[in-house]
């Protein structure tokens, strides 16, 4: 696989590591990408930038281009959306401050839920949570731990506790997330749009226009939850709205039931090329030397 030129190889622009809820270290992700012959990847952990340095350190030796990224968990009119930021400067003060604020909000949320559980005689330990999300505690980890520990079977009315755990605070709106990514020199794309409305995976151009007005640059066309119909739909939407088509496997490492999905989406090198050009344009617009 080493003989094919980069342009003939695939890329994967959406990957997680142990810095959020993935099971591979950044170095392992880069090594796995190299083993699969990927030309370029982006590490896009949830609301954290800590894995980017290690990814870069491994990149040159592995022969894989690594683009700094992040996946911001944002609020869009009461719904949770994931905004991917590609090409961001991991040291940008406004971005790092916003992420820090988000972490402290989430920390308070976890404390609040743990206190509520303790009050009904069902305390969860750090170990209960750590089994699921050692570095990335949040609503999903709390809900999982509550279910696994059988809390809902013992507490007569557990529903409000579940709702409390699931009601994660959002540190930024989608508009703010896009602006943060832009200020940090990055390009903002809407992650896995099919997940926004559970019952309605194909969002219309009209529905997406407010995000485009807010500065959205791209949208995920390739994603592991997108079948051919979803890919086709969002490719048309991207074209119509003048958005970049981006995508990746959203791999979180080896799965219990299936093999790791890194590199599985067949994202062409041209998507990385166009994204890179857009990042350069953003940096020039920001007045930063590309």
- Binding residues (CB under 5 A) for Zn ion: these are 71, 82, 191, 250
Task: Label residues 104-118 b or e (16+ Cβ within 10 Å = b).
Answer: eebeebbeebbeebe
Residue 252 CB, nearest distance to Zn ion (Å)? 8
Q: Please, what is the minimum distance in Å from the beta carbon of residue 22 to Zn ion? A: 9
Question: From CA 253, how far away is CA 60, in angstroms rounded?
Answer: 21
Q: Tell me whether residue 249 or residue 278 sits nearer to Zn ion (CB atom).
A: 249
Nearer to Zn ion, 109 or 192 (CB): 192
Residue facing Zn ion at closest CB distance = 82
**Axis crossing angle, helix 174-183 with helix 93-119, rounded to the nearest 10:** 140
What residues have CB less than 8 Å from 109, skipping those under 6 apart?
138, 139, 167, 168, 169
Residue 54 or 250 with smaller CB distance to Zn ion: 250
Nearer to Zn ion, 191 or 247 (CB): 191
- The least distance separating Zn ion from the CB of residue 106, rounded to whole angstroms, comes to 16
| For Zn ion, the closer CB: 71 or 230 | 71
- As measured in angstroms, the least distance from the Cβ of 71 to Zn ion is 5
**264 close to 249: Cβ distance less than 8 angstroms:** yes
Residue 192: left (phi > 0), alpha (psi -120 to 50), or beta? Answer: left
Closest approach of Zn ion to the CB of residue 97, in Å: 22
């Amino acid at each position: 696989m080493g003989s094919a030129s980069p342009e003939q190889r695939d890329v994967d622009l959406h990957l997680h590591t142990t810095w959020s809820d993935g099971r591979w270290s950044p170095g392992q992700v880069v090594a796995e990408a190299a083993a699969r012959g990927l030309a370029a990847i982006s590490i896009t952990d949830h609301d954290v930038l800590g894995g980017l340095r290690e990814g870069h350190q491994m990149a040159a030796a592995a022969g894989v281009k690594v683009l700094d990224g992040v996946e911001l968990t944002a609020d869009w009119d009461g719904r949770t959306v994931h905004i991917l930021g590609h090409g961001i400067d991991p040291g940008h003060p406004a971005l790092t401050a916003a992420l820090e604020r988000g972490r402290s909000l989430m920390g308070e949320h976890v404390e609040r839920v743990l206190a509520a559980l303790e009050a009904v005689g069902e305390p969860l330990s750090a170990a209960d949570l750590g089994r699921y999300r050692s570095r990335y505690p949040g609503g999903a980890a709390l809900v999982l731990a509550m279910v696994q520990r059988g809390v809902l079977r013992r507490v007569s009315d557990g529903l409000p506790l579940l709702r409390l755990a699931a009601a994660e605070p959002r540190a930024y709106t989608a508009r703010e997330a896009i602006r943060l990514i832009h200020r940090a020199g990055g390009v903002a794309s809407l992650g896995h749009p099919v997940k926004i409305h559970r019952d309605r995976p194909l969002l219309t151009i009209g529905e997406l226009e407010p995000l485009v007005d807010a500065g959205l640059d791209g949208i995920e066309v390739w994603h592991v939850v997108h079948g051919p119909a979803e890919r086709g739909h969002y490719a048309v939407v991207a074209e119509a709205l003048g958005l970049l088509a981006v995508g990746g496997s959203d791999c979180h490492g080896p799965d219990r039931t299936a093999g790791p999905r890194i590199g599985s989406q067949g994202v062409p090198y041209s998507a990385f090329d166009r994204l890179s050009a857009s990042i350069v344009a953003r940096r020039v617009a920001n007045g930063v030397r590309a």
